[in-house]
Amino acid sequence: MICITVSPGLGQNYDTYIKQGLSSWDAGQFDRAIVIFTRAIEQKPDDPWAYGNRGFAYLQKSLYDEAIADFTMAIALDATDAAGLPNYKKANITRPSRTSTGPSN
């Protein structure tokens, strides 16, 4: 089990978490990115951006079910997002067990 500490900091908001999550992603720190994107989701649960980013971090960790769940949520929140469905399909195709249980468009 990996334990990651991310200091919440005073006054950190959604945008700050997104920037920190992307920085962690760029550094290959996917566990840390997941934690930070989760904090962004806690602040703005109706914004698909953080779900999509966290989904990519899960995908890098081969956590396919979690990635698919996040991509599904991103699609549910914004069906017009051009990247949502391809991301979902990529996670489903990459997943060893190819059972699909979500969007079919």
Q: Which domains does the chain have, with CATH numbers?
A: 14-94 (1.25.40.10)
Average pLDDT for residues 27-54, to the nearest whole number? 94
Of residues 31 and 80, which shows the higher confidence score?
Answer: 31
pLDDT category at 10 given cuts 50, 70, 90 is very low
Q: Measured between alpha carbons, how far is residue 62 from residues 26, 57, 88, 90, 103 in Å?
A: 17, 9, 14, 12, 20
For 81-85, the CB contacts below 8 A with 24+ separation are 81/48, 81/52, 83/52, 84/48, 84/52
Residue 4: both structure tokens together: 């990651």
Of residues 97 and 38, which shows the higher confidence score?
Answer: 38
Burial of 64 (0-12, 13-18, 19+ CB in 10 A): middle
pLDDT category at 54 given cuts 50, 70, 90 is very high
Give the pLDDT of residue 7: 47
The tens digit of pLDDT for each residue in 62-98 reads: 998 999 899 889 888 987 765 666 666 666 666 676 5
pLDDT category at 5 given cuts 50, 70, 90 is very low
The reported pTM is 0.74
